[in-house]
């Protein structure tokens, strides 16, 4: 009886291990496309488009009266995109304090857990320090 229980336990654990996808095991093809993120950290309308082969990304969000759009390229390896980006920030307030920047450095770490994308950005400019979580893939 103990052997049967142990075998059933081992099979159950193996099934759980195979059925669960952790954040560190995914292919670059799983990132390609458009992802929408729920509002978080005071940011709204968060979207990301991961380019073919993850050689770049376009990321946009709104923060109060500012609408940010960042686009760039780089190299991808093991869940990390490293490169440079440009951005525009449009201010819809009366002050109309639009800004932009070119050739800013960025490293974006991706995790994919239960088909939800998370991105953590480290570098310069408006993407620095941003983390967006729970992104949902948008099929074409």
Residue pair 75/57 in contact (Cβ under 8 Å)? The answer is: no
Domain boundaries, given as residue ranges, for the chain = 34-138
Indicate whether this model's pTM tops 0.85. Answer: no
Report the length, in residues, of the chain: 140
Cβ–Cβ contacts within 10 Å for residue 97, how many? 11
Q: Could you report the per-residue pLDDT of 61-118, keeping only the tens digit for each?
A: 999 999 999 999 999 999 999 999 999 999 999 999 999 999 999 999 999 999 999 9
Q: Are strands 99-113 and 131-138 parallel, antiparallel or unpaired?
A: unpaired
Q: Could you report the per-residue pLDDT of 25-61, keeping only the tens digit for each?
A: 688 889 999 999 999 999 999 999 999 887 899 999 9
**What is the DSSP secondary structure assignment for residue 53, as one 8-state letter?**
G
Distances (CA, A) of 14 to 8, 20, 24, 39, 41: 10, 10, 18, 36, 37
User: Which residue, 88, 80, 26, is CA-closest to 58?
Assistant: 88
Q: What are phi and psi of 23, to 5 degrees?
A: -70, -10
* Average pLDDT, integer, range 1-6: 38
């Amino acid at each position: 009886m103990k052997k049967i229980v142990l075998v059933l336990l081992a099979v159950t654990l193996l099934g759980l291990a195979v059925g669960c996808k952790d954040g560190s095991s995914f292919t670059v093809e799983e990132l390609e496309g458009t992802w929408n993120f729920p509002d978080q950290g005071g940011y709204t309308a968060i979207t990301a488009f991961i380019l073919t082969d993850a050689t770049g990304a376009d990321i946009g969000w709104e923060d109060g009266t500012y609408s940010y759009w960042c686009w760039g390229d780089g190299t991808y390896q093991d869940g990390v995109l490293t490169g440079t980006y440009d951005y525009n920030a449009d201010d819809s307030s009366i002050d109309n304090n639009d800004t932009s920047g070119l050739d800013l450095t960025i490293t974006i770490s991706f995790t994919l857990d239960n088909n939800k994308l998370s991105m953590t950005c480290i570098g310069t400019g408006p993407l620095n320090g941003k983390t967006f979580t729970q992104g949902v893939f948008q099929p074409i």
